[in-house]
Chains A and B, each alone.
Chain A
Amino acid sequence: MKAFTQHTGLVAPLDRANVDTDQIIPKQFLKSIKRTGFGQNLFDEWRYLDEGLPGVDCAERPLNTDFVLNQPRYQGASVLLARKNFGCGSSREHAPWALEEYGFRTILAPSYADIFYNNSFKNGLLPLVLAEEDIDELFAQAEAEEGYQLTVDLQAQLVTRPDGKTYSFEVDAFRKHCLLNGLDDIGLTLEDADSIKAFEQKHQQSQSWLFGAIQ
């Protein structure tokens, strides 16, 4: 996993609440058996005017020029500014895969759906939560000012605006540690293999029917 320490990037404001993962990456692209290749279909139904099909070269497709990510001023954006309950709906991890591959490193929103929030951390994408008023303020600034950039410092847990104003944000210590160091969860958990085995033994003694039925 890519580590996340500090990032400065262009902000794209996506002014919709309850953006669901079907919107982030529509289901027809979930048929892939790989982890890559989803970036070009991020927000497919909003981004393109025609129907998106897997295996089609997106460079040839008609763009919906009204959609925020297609506007010239937001090309190269790596910070996504979003509204509440971002990433609701389906648990597909393809959503953070698509966002990350498109080039986003971090998302700022007042709230996220739980599964999406969790999945993002596992893919080097930092979803951070700011108060609704702060998000409103950032929307106003990002829309008013072309080339608007923000700096996100995970170590310090700070977002810094071009004018120097900062917002602090909360993040779990464990998630922060993993993200800062790009650590693989499985390796970390397997360091506790003895505790898992001990638990499993006890569990099997008290509830033997949970074991062995499906062979």
Chain B
Amino acid sequence: MSAKTLYDKLWDNHLVKQRDDGSALIYIDRQLLHEVTSPQAFEGLRLAGRKPWRIDANLATPDHNVPTTNRAAGVSGIDDAVSKLQVVTLDDNCNEFGIVEFQMTDRRQGIVHVVGPEQGATLPGMTIVCGDSHTATHGAFAALAHGIGTSEVEHVLATQCLVAKKMKNMLVNVEGKLGFGVTAKDVVLAVIGKIGTAGGNEHAIEFAGSAIRDLSVEGRMTICNMAIEAGARVGLVACDQKTIDYVKGRPYSPKGADWDAAVSTWQDLVSDANAHFDTVVELDAAAIKPQVSWGTSPEMVVAVDALVPDPQQEVDAVKRSGYQRALQYMGLEANQPITSIKLDRVFIGSCTNSRIEDLRAAAVVAKGRSVSPSIKQAMVVPGSGLVKEQAEQEGLDVIFKEAGFEWRDPGCSMCLAMNPDKLLSGEHCASTSNRNFEGRQGNGGRTHLVSPAMAAAAAIAGHFVDVREMMNQEVSA
């Protein structure tokens, strides 16, 4: 038998039927549901008189529209009537079809991509879908996970299968040791800077190499989360002992004999030594510095010690005009140092960086310091109610509050500003989220993507700074 990639194995293990035209029916083990992309799917089921194929394959939670304050009031705490209707509709649909949902007042509620792994609803070897492009996050567990559209949400509800076409295999190999103060977020931003936002189109990307193996599982989630920003629906990391340890003992993880059986099958969730990849990209971990995005696409990213690029230096005409438009939108000058960009707001949160390790990394920088008076708002939004509890047990909330950060309730929040947390036009935000598109964090808002530590450092300085300098001071203090 020929050597297989991890993606090939996951695909083969779920192949129900291969059709002659290259498309296939793939069996789906888990579907995560949230309020934005599911209402039309449930409506479709109802209109066609169909029932979900397998109720226990689904798990739901509202995240995009939930406010990050006044949560005790539950749904009635949502001021915006349209947002409220969407959350209520999810509650109603889950009730009607018998799907388990963590509602707004449940302490397990949170961003779907934080909740799945936290509950053990995400397991190695699974196929996982959600009507949300950042479903790629779950690939950190050697699971085949990707975003789908609403018609497909309905399709999976009704048939437990997805019509899919096999993707190509891409290997992103990050070898070597990451420098002090350089995080998973910097790695993935550097990858996107290198291959571009379309670099992974039609591919499943496996992230490998010693630098990836050295990362924690949460760091790997940050990396896979942004595979979609490199154009790939799927990001993957091989299963190892860290993966297994992370999954162990979670509420929906297998127990007893099931656990042993599961672990023995999970051992095989790695690419075979001679497996063929259609595209291979190599990165030197030691060369990666803390990254800051300057433009309106995640590929418009440079190291913190660099200058904002000059469009005149760009030979490709379409790219040059894209750069010019981005500079204009962002209110930046060509060749200005990244560290000279002044900030109005700071957002630490989102499915990219709102897990406990992210909050710890930001707290290390915030500890004993204060948010610059020039910053209008710096907020920390944990990814789930359980992350929030854990952080509070560790006293992180106190560190943040003492430094002048706001400590909020879990949800997507300012990552996409569907709830009341948003940027005003023209404001610059250091954000740990994943998208710096025009208007993403509020109409006219200017987003700069960074790691949690870099965001915290920027909050303190009022502009971008190399967090490594701040951390050095920490050591000597």
Residues of chain A whose beta carbon lies under 8 Å from any beta carbon of chain B: 16-18, 20, 22-23, 26-28, 30-35, 45, 51-52, 54-55, 83-85, 88-94, 96, 111, 113-115, 118-119, 122-123, 172-175, 185-186, 189-190, 192-193, 195-196, 199-200, 203, 206-215
Contacts and interface: CB of A to CB of B under 8 A. Distances in A.
Contact of B56 (A83, A196, A206, A215): A215
A94 to B, nearest CB: 8
Given A16-B322, A31-B83, A88-B197, A195 B16 contact: yes
Interface in B276-331: 297, 318-319, 322, 325
Contacts, number: 205
Nearest to B15: A199
A122 B265 CA distance: 36
A214 B440 contact: no
Interface centre among A91, A93, A192 (most CB of B within 10 A): A91
Contact of A208 (B21, B258, B322): B258
Interface centre among B64, B83, B89, B228 (most CB of A within 10 A): B228
Among all A-B residue pairs, the 7 with the closest Cβ atoms = A209-B254, A173-B21, A33-B39, A119-B149, A93-B149, A91-B147, A91-B133
B45 to A, nearest CB: 9
B100 A214 contact: yes
Contacts of B100: 214-215
18 contacts: A20-B435, A31-B85, A35-B40, A35-B150, A89-B437, A90-B133, A93-B40, A93-B151, A119-B152, A173-B21, A192-B161, A196-B16, A209-B259, A209-B262, A213-B252, A214-B56, A214-B121, A215-B56
B438 interface: yes
B207 interface: no
A185 B163 contact: yes
Nearest to B439: A45
B231 A114 contact: yes
A214 B86 contact: no
Contacts of A55: 82
Interface in B406-462: 416-418, 435, 437-440, 443
B418 A172 contact: no
A90 B148 CA distance: 10
B149 A122 contact: yes
Given A33-B86, A85-B197, A185-B155, A196 B27 contact: yes
B233 interface: yes
A212 B149 contact: no
Contact of A22 (B43, B147, B197, B438): B438
A13 B440 CA distance: 24
B261 to A, nearest CB: 7
B151 to A, nearest CB: 4
B123 interface: yes
A71 B322 CA distance: 22
Residues of B in contact with A, size category: 35 or more
Contacts of A17: 318-319, 322
A199 B154 CA distance: 20
B65 interface: yes
Given A113-B201, A199-B16, A212-B56, A31 B86 contact: yes
Interface of B: 16-17, 19-23, 25, 27, 29, 36-37, 39-40, 43, 48, 50, 53-54, 56-59, 64-65, 80, 82-83, 85-86, 89, 100, 120-121, 123, 125-126, 131-133, 147-152, 154-155, 158-161, 163, 165, 167, 197-198, 201-202, 228, 231, 233, 252-254, 258-259, 261-262, 265, 297, 318-319, 322, 325, 416-418, 435, 437-440, 443
Contacts of A35: 40, 43, 150
Nearest to A95: B149
Nearest to A177: B21
A211 B56 contact: yes
A27 B413 CA distance: 12
Contacts of A190: 158-159
A128 B258 CA distance: 47
Contact of B82 (A18, A32, A51, A94): A32
Given A27-B418, A30-B418, A209-B123, 15 more contacts: A26-B443, A34-B43, A45-B439, A85-B197, A85-B201, A89-B228, A93-B37, A93-B40, A122-B149, A122-B152, A174-B22, A185-B163, A192-B16, A196-B160, A207-B261
Contacts of A88: 197-198, 231
A189 B163 contact: yes
Contacts of A90: 132-133, 435
B82 A23 contact: no
A114 B202 contact: yes
Nearest to A119: B149
A37 B53 CA distance: 30
A32 to B, nearest CB: 7
Interface centre among B36, B40, B151, B154 (most CB of A within 10 A): B151
A113 B231 contact: yes
Contacts of B25: 189, 192, 195-196
Given A111-B198, A119-B149, A200 B160 contact: yes
Contact of B418 (A28, A33, A83, A211): A28
A210 B418 contact: no
